[in-house]
């Protein structure tokens, strides 16, 4: 049954899917399950394009044995919309509520991690796309007209938040908010570095500033300096390929959130850390990074990782964003622009997140 696309389920759905590792997306008819007792069904209005969507549809992580693409693949895990139907036992949502879904749609709900609201680290976590759901069918993401999701894996979007600019919070937002909190990089007076000014990176600048830290952006793109400082509120900007600038900032940072999507050298970043500084990797390059250990040893520095966030923390992040008026800087695009958008994302040519206007531009064929 896995991979079946058309009539397995009663709710007709329509989206765009990649059929192979060319990653080219095209229209795709499929189906979604009936609204179960704990489920909400919603009309998708906007979906952000995460670099993980691009890694996935091109099967770039396939060789790492971690996540292999499962075709046809309907990507999209920064999904927002409006609830159209709720199951009998649903408590958090009513028809008409604004709703968001991020990277996961299931977990065991009984392991230690689930018990600590860390469903994102559950060994049985189910991804929004590319996983096999409990009924044996593939999960399909938000480049589609409707979603059906267990209410536990959906968050409330407060009425005053713009849906288009909020969509990227569901993955990019929580992915940077969670490590800032967990690794203690959330205290006023600390100095945080953000490496890679893309979808995740620009959210990291906004959250880190709202938490009261000083922020340095470390980027390969010198032309992003003005925006980083003037629009996003970063305090300093370093061009990572300029050894003099990097040298001058040696030992200045308490922690770094590294969002880079491609292999890159870690030594220059570790050198930016103070003694006991923390380098936190959230970017997911398709090849292993080289880790020089001497500079870690010599300064009791640490390297850590972080993956999205649990459902409770995701709601906390949304509510924090609502309070501090944090939203993504977006370029809204029509559905049929998606393949061009993917090419531009590959070249880091977006300020700073593409969001697909599903509600107005996804037309069933
Ligand atoms: P993005 O918008 O493409 O941003 C990545 C940024 O990395 C680029 O804008 C660029 O910034 C920098 N970069 C790209 N290639 C580089 C290279 N060769 N060397 C140095 N810097 C380079 O991507 P995103 O959506 O933010 O995602 C970033 C990464 O995080 C992806 O690998 C994605 O899969 C991963 N991710 C992880 C999680 C998680 O839970 N851990 C969640 C979501 C995404 P500059 O122009 O400023 O250099
Ligand atoms: Zn993502
Ligand atoms: Zn679990």
Q: Which of 283, 344, 351 gets mutated to test ligand 1 (max ligand atoms within 8 A of its CB)?
A: 283
CA torsion sign for 141, 143, 147, 149 is positive
Ligand 1 probe mutation, 168, 194, 196, most atoms within 8 A of CB = 196
Enumerate residues lining ligand 1, CB below 6 A: 50-52, 55, 171-172, 175, 196-201, 219-221, 224, 259-262, 264, 282-284, 306-308, 345, 348
Tell me how far apart the alpha carbons of residues 160 and 52 are, in angstroms, rounded to a whole number: 28
Which ligand number lies closest to the CA of residue 107? 3
Which residues of the chain carry a pLDDT beneath 50?
A: 1-4
> Which ligand 1 atom minimizes the distance to the CA of 305?
41
Give, using CA atoms, the residue closest to atom 25 of ligand 1.
51
pLDDT for residue 1: 40
Query: Which ligand 1 atom is at minimum distance from the Cα of 220?
Result: 48
A 10 A CB-CB count for 319 gives 14
pLDDT at 111: 98
The rounded radius of gyration (Å) of the Cα atoms in the chain is: 20
Rounded distance between C-alpha atoms, residue 183 and residue 261, angstroms: 21
Residue nearest to atom 19 of ligand 1 (CA): 264
Ligand 1 atom having least distance to the Cα of 285: 32
* Ligand minimally distant from the alpha carbon of residue 129: 2
- As a dihedral over the C-alpha atoms of residue 273, residue 321, residue 122, residue 108, rounded to 10 degrees, the angle is 170
DSSP state of 337: G
Atom 23 of ligand 1 has which residue's CA nearest to it?
A: 51
Kindly state the tokens that stand for 153.
């894996």
Handedness of CA 289, 294, 297, 301 (dihedral sign): negative
Q: Per the structure block, which two tokens stand in for 296?
A: 């870690």
Distance (angstroms) between ligand 3 centre and the Cα of 272 equals 37
pLDDT of residue 64: 64
For residues 214 and 22, give the distance between their C-alpha atoms in angstroms, rounded to a whole number: 41
- Atom from ligand 1 closest to the CA of residue 197: 47
Domains within the chain, CATH numbers bracketed: 11-171+327-361 (3.90.180.10), 172-305 (3.40.50.720)
Contact 356, 143 (CB under 8 A): yes
Judge whether 127 and 120 are in contact, CB under 8 Å: no
Residue of 182, 307, 348, 353 best suited for mutating to test ligand 1, as the one with most atoms within 8 Å of CB: 348
Q: Where are the alpha helices (DSSP H) in the chain?
A: 51-57, 112-115, 163-166, 172-182, 199-210, 225-226, 243-248, 267-272, 294-297, 311-324, 338-346, 358-361
pLDDT at 247: 97
Single pTM value for the model? 0.97
């Amino acid at each position: 049954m896995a991979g079946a696309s058309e009539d397995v389920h009663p709710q007709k759905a329509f989206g765009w899917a990649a059929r192979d590792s060319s990653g080219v997306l095209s229209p795709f008819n499929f189906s979604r399950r009936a609204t179960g007792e704990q489920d909400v069904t919603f009309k998708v209005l906007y979906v952000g394009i995460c670099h993980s969507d691009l890694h996935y549809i091109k099967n770039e992580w396939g060789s790492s044995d971690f996540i292999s693409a499962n075709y046809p693949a309907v990507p999209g895990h920064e999904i927002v919309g409006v609830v159209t139907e709720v199951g009998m036992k649903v408590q958090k949502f009513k028809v008409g509520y604004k709703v968001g879904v991020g990277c996961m749609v299931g977990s065991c709900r009984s392991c230690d991690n689930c018990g600590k609201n860390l469903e994102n680290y559950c060994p049985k976590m189910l991804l929004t796309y590319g996983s096999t759901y409990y009924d044996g069918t593939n999960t399909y993401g938000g480049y589609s007209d409707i979603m059906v999701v267990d209410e536990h894996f959906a968050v409330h979007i407060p009425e005053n938040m713009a849906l288009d600019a909020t969509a990227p919070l569901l993955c990019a937002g929580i992915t940077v908010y969670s490590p800032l909190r967990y690794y203690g990089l959330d205290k006023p007076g600390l100095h945080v570095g953000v490496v890679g000014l893309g979808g995740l990176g620009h959210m990291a600048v906004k959250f880190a500033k709202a938490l009261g830290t000083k922020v340095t952006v470390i980027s390969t793109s010198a032309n992003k300096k003005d925006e980083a400082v003037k629009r996003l509120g970063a305090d300093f900007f370093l061009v990572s390929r300029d050894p003099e600038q990097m040298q001058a900032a040696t030992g200045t940072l308490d922690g770094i959130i590294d969002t880079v999507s491609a292999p890159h050298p870690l030594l220059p970043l570790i050198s930016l850390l103070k003694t006991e500084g923390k380098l936190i990797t959230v970017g997911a390059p398709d090849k292993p990074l080289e880790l020089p250990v001497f500079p870690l040893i010599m300064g009791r520095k640490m390297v850590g990782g972080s993956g999205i966030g649990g459902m409770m923390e995701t709601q906390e992040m949304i509510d924090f964003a609502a309070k501090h008026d944090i939203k993504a800087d977006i370029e809204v695009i029509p559905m049929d622009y998606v393949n061009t958008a993917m090419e531009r994302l590959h070249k880091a040519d977006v300020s700073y997140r593409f969001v697909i206007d599903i509600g107005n531009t996804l037309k069933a064929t």
